[in-house]
Amino acid sequence: MRNILRILSVCEPLGAVAMLFGFLTIPASLALSVVMLGAIYNKIFVWKNKFFGAGGWEFELLILVVLILFIFVGAGVNSLDFVLHIGY
């Protein structure tokens, strides 16, 4: 468990910075989607939280939907992917 947390403590901020600047948007979205699926799983089955309310998992679901949108659509013309002509 400690090794997973070490990996997540590096990968999650790097993915967020990549998404912020629009660099490698699709791979970053895929990686962050896996993180969000894990967060939703823990909130539903481990912590037994409801959808709404304090500690609910509605915000994680919203982030997951936006990440899936980025996977299919990409970052757009105002991104480093477009400027560097990366094939997305």
**HEC profile of the chain:** CHHHHHHHHHHHHHHHHHHHHCCCHHHHHHHHHHHHHHHHHHHHHHCCCCCCCCCCCHHHHHHHHHHHHHHHHCCCCCCHHHHCCCCC
Predicted structure pTM score: 0.88
Domain boundaries, the chain: 2-83
User: Per-residue confidence of the chain (88 residues) as pLDDT tens digits?
Assistant: 899 889 889 999 999 999 999 999 999 999 999 999 999 999 999 999 999 988 899 999 999 999 999 999 988 888 999 999 876 5
